[in-house]
Structure 1
Amino acid sequence: MVRLCTDELNIGYGDRLIVKDLSVDLPDKKITTIIGSNGCGKSTLLKAITRIIPHHSGNVLLDGENISKGNTKELAKKMAILPQTPESASGLTVGELVSYGRFPHQKGMGRLTKKDYEVINWALEVTGTLEFKYREVDALSGGQRQRVWIAMALAQETDIIFLDEPTTYLDMAHQLEVLELLQKLNLEQERTIVMVLHDLNQAARFADYIVALKEGEIVKSGSCEEVITRDVLKKVFHIDAEIGRDPRTNKPMCITYNLLKGEDQHEKMAHSIYSAVGVTG
């Protein structure tokens, strides 16, 4: 089943197109990851789908309706987005930050109701952050802060959650902690999760569906087995990859790779590849 899709979507800044004629169906109640090198349009696509930025032409359809014509507050009841580097006002407590997720549901003077407080506490409990409710967000670790931001998205009570590189700046343990939480939300609450990931093996491990982008166009979309292949990674990341199987999940994984010889190997491309396979400094 598909509730959310794009149809010949063109997105850009000024006269420069970043995403070109992109049509994709995002499976409902599944985890979708978007992969691709730096600057290929991953974050731009997320921003356009969630109406943070306008698109030049084409359509984004949610439940058969064009989101560009819908009410912003009503749209916020259906989809939430966690940006790449979320920032909150200094001095906010965890509870205060998560309460912002209730904004689309508030009426009149915007005072929190009993239902609002119940949802806030539920979101904190589900993400394992209830114990931090009265602590300042700035005092938390990176992994704890990321879980709090996810709690705020959950407090919106949306069926669809977008996350732009939710594991950025986190160590390996905290990355796994966040991804396992998102998987739990998908499996137990049937939330549709759409996220941008740089690590190919994490994308393969946690995704039901993968969209591989290059220069604003889809190279391949489908299951992990269909996308995490030698040919697709060659086209998307310009690498010669050895693909094996994760011994714990039996999903495809990139074991090792070489840069393709005789081609452009400038520093920006190399940095994108290192990020994609989880190599950091």
Structure 2
Amino acid sequence: MVRLYTNDVSIGYGERFIVKELSVSIPDHKITTIIGPNGCGKSTLLKAITRIIPHQSGAVLLDGENIAKENTKELAKKMAILPQTPESAAGLTVGELVSYGRFPYQKGFGRLSKKDYEAIDWALEVTGTIDFKYRPVDALSGGQRQRVWIAMALAQETDIIFLDEPTTYLDMAHQLEVLELLQKLNREQGRTIVMVLHDLNQAARFADYLIALKDGEVVKAGNCEEVINHEVLKKVFHIDAEIGRDPRTNKPMCVTYNLLRGEEKDEEAVNTLYAASGTRN
């Protein structure tokens, strides 16, 4: 089932297009991860889908409706986003920060209702941050802060959560902590998770569906078997990858790789050009 998809979306800054006539579908109740080299349009696509930035052409549709025409508060009840570098929470307690997730439901003078407080405590419980409720956000570790930001997104009570590189600046243990939390939210609550990740093996381990981007275009979209393979990684990252199996999940994983250089890289580019034009047998 697909509730959210883009139809020939082009996104740019000024006269420079980052994403070009892109059509992607986000499977419902699954974890979708977007991968690709720096500058390929991953974060730009996330921002356009969540209406943080406008798109120049095409459409983003949720439940058959163009999000460009949606009321902002109503859209915020359907999707939440955790940006790559969340705004500073200086001076706020954890509970105060998470309460911001209730903004779409507030009326009048913006006072929190009993239901709001229940949603806040629930989000803190689910993310394991309830013990930090009255502590300053600045006093927490990186992993704890990231869980608090996720709690704020959960307090919005949306079916779809977007995260732009949620493991950035975290050590290995805290990266795993955050990804396991997102997997738990997906499996136990059916949340649709869409995130950008740089680590290919983390993407393969936690994603149900992968979208590989390069130069603002989809090179391959599908399950881990279809995307994490030698040919796709060669096209997307210009690497010669050795693919093995994760002994714990049996999913494909990148064991090691070399950069494509000189003639190898030139030959790969020529093959891509011929394939696109259909002039090589």
TM-score by length of 1: 0.93
Q: CA deviation at 1:84?
A: 0.2
Following superposition of structure 1 onto structure 2, how do residues 113-128 of structure 1 map, counting pairs within 5 Å?
113-128=113-128
Corresponding residue for 1:158? 158
Distance 1:122 1:11 in 2: 37
Q: What are the Cα deviations for residues 152-210 of structure 1, in whole angstroms up to 9, with x where unaligned?
A: 00000000000000000000000000000000000000000000000000000000000
Q: CA deviation at 1:150?
A: 0.1
Corresponding residue for 1:179? 179
Distance 1:197 1:259 in 2: 20
Alignment check: 8 A CA contact 1:88 1:97 kept = no
Q: CA deviation at 1:264?
A: 9.8
Residue identity opposite 2:21 in structure 1 = D
Corresponding residue for 2:44? 44
Residue identity opposite 2:17 in structure 1 = L
Distance 1:190 1:5, change over 3 A: same
Following superposition of structure 1 onto structure 2, how do residues 130-169 of structure 1 map, counting pairs within 5 Å?
130-169=130-169
After TM superposition, the runs of 4+ consecutive aligned structure 1 residues lying more than 4 A away are none
Q: CA deviation at 1:108?
A: 1.4
Residue identity opposite 2:87 in structure 1 = E
Q: What stretches of structure 2 of length at least 5 have no aligned partner?
A: 266-281
Q: Are residue 110 (structure 1) and residue 110 (structure 2) matched? A: yes
**Based on CA coordinates, which of the two structures has the bigger radius of gyration?**
2
Following superposition of structure 1 onto structure 2, how do residues 1-281 of structure 1 map, counting pairs within 5 Å?
1-262=1-262
Alignment check: 8 A CA contact 1:101 1:156 kept = yes
Distance 1:189 1:89 in 2: 28
Q: CA deviation at 1:222?
A: 0.2
Distance 1:263 1:183 in 2: 42
Question: Cα RMSD over matched residues?
Answer: 1.0
TM-score by length of 2: 0.93
Count of paired positions: 265
Q: What stretches of structure 1 of length at least 5 have no aligned partner?
A: 266-281
Distance 1:20 1:264, change over 3 A: farther
Distance 2:242 2:21 in 1: 31
